[in-house]
């Protein structure tokens, strides 16, 4: 009888203990989910690098966005710096000479657009800013000296190219050459 009572006790208590553990697990899970709250987001977004000293003031940048001093080095930085000073109203400020220069430029552009291309010649002023200018290939040196030329003359009348003389001329054909990588070329096909 003692042997049977041990088996009965084990058969009855084992499911009760498993249900008890399951009940404890469910109660702890419910308590954790009820007590968890997501982190609160700020009322307004404050970008990194800005100051939010007071909740009443709007956030403002700590440092200036544009670098006002020219970083020595590349020729392209010098060119961009000059264009920024000429065309950016924030960097230009209230200087009257830049306004007069802009009005003269706009009047020149409205007058004859191809007049500047006829007078375009090599500009030697940028050569000293490149340390290795003399070691550059000839085509690159020519580009640096004439990169300010933006209007190039077009050759529109080309006899004996679009059809032969004496016969009816064929319609001109436009050929576009697109520099691309192999993968991009395959995607376009």
Q: Summarize pLDDT for 57-105 with one digit per residue, the tens.
A: 666 666 767 777 777 767 778 888 888 878 877 776 665 554 455 554 5
* Distance set, CA 131 to CA 134, 143, 156 (Å): 8, 16, 40
Q: What is the DSSP letter of 170?
A: P
* Distance set, CA 33 to CA 20, 21, 39, 41, 117 (Å): 20, 19, 14, 20, 74
pLDDT of residue 25: 97
Closest to 90 in 3D by CA, of 68, 109, 118, 106: 68
All residue ranges of the chain with pLDDT < 50 are 98-99, 104, 106-117
3-class DSSP assignment, residue 176: coil
**Residue found by looking up tokens 């249900």 in the block:** 19
Residues 82, 74 contacting (CB under 8 angstroms): no
3-state SS of 37-92 is CCCCCCCCCCCCCEECCCCCCCCEECCCCCCCCCCCCCHHHHHHHHHHHHHCHHHH
C-alpha 162/C-alpha 168 separation (Å) is 10
Q: What is the pTM (predicted TM-score) of this model?
A: 0.34
Q: What is the DSSP letter of 30?
A: H
Domains of the chain, residue spans = 70-111, 114-152
The residue length of the chain stands at 189
Residues 98, 86 contacting (CB under 8 angstroms): yes
């Amino acid at each position: 009888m003692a042997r049977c009572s041990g088996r009965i006790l084990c058969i009855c208590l084992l499911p009760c203990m498993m249900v008890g553990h399951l009940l404890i697990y469910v109660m702890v899970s419910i308590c954790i989910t009820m007590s968890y709250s997501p982190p609160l987001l700020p009322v307004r977004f404050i970008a990194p690098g800005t100051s939010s000293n007071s909740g009443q003031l709007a956030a403002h940048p700590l440092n200036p966005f544009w670098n006002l001093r020219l970083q020595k080095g590349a020729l392209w930085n010098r060119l961009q710096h000059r264009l920024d000073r000429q065309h950016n109203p924030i960097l230009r400020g209230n200087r009257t000479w830049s306004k007069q220069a802009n009005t003269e430029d706009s009047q020149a552009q409205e007058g004859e657009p191809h007049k500047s291309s006829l007078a375009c010649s090599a500009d030697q002023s940028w050569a000293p800013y490149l340390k290795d200018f003399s070691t550059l290939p000839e085509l690159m040196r020519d580009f640096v000296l004439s990169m300010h030329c933006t209007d190039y003359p077009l050759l529109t009348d080309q006899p004996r190219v679009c059809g032969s003389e004496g016969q009816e001329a064929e319609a001109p054909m436009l050929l576009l050459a697109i520099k691309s990588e192999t993968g991009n070329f395959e995607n376009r096909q």
